[in-house]
Amino acid sequence: MEDLTSLTVHELKEKLDKKEITSEEITKAYVNRINEKEKDVQAFVTLLTDEAITKAKEIDEKRKTQNLGEYAGIPIGIKDNMCTKNIKTTCSSKMLENFISPYDGTVVNKVINEENMIDLGKLNMDEFAMGSSTETSYFKKTKNPWDLTRVPGGSSGGSAAAVSANMVPWALGSDTGGSIRQPSALCRSSWA
């Protein structure tokens, strides 16, 4: 069988639309990839793999009778500075290590909830998005998947590293002064 984690979001969507694959199959492929790569890359602060598989099954059922969002059933990772209801939002800081948001942030509501996308987990970052290497996280230092001795950049290093390692097909990050652009450049495959 084809490696689903090597497909683009648009290819995954096309296969879903043609009923060649299910959201559950896609999600399980990414969960397997996370299980294989996360110990080395360290991109996630909070994993939601069991919840993601459950949500994928629900979306597959809904798809039979309802029109869902354009990217419904596609997994995604979320930078850990975006509030997610009933899930830890730590900003990679000890101070917030047990903070569970009582609400979803606007971007989470619009991208995840309204589109019926599948959250695979919260991604590591420089603490409070103050850094450019993803080494200042309280929890762990994220590695560049192309060379584990190098940094992925920051502050959205977990997001870029997770995408680059095919642990998520895409991810949300945030950017004030290069926090998405720098990790995207440092984790791109042509550097390998």
Which amino acid is located at 46 in the chain? T
Annotated catalytic residue within 37, 79, 122, 143: 79
User: Is 155 one of the annotated active-site residues of the chain?
Assistant: yes
List the one residue out of 77, 36, 76, 43 whose CA is nearest residue 151.
Answer: 43
Core vs surface per residue 131-163: b (16+ CB within 10 A) or e: bbbbbbbebbebbbbbeeeebbbbbbbbbbbbb
Annotated catalytic residue within 23, 93, 164, 179: 179
User: Is 6 one of the annotated active-site residues of the chain?
Assistant: no
Annotated catalytic residue within 132, 155, 156, 184: 155
User: Is 101 one of the annotated active-site residues of the chain?
Assistant: no
Phi-psi region of 191 (alpha: psi -120 to 50; beta: other; left: phi over 0): alpha
Active-site positions read: 79, 155, 179
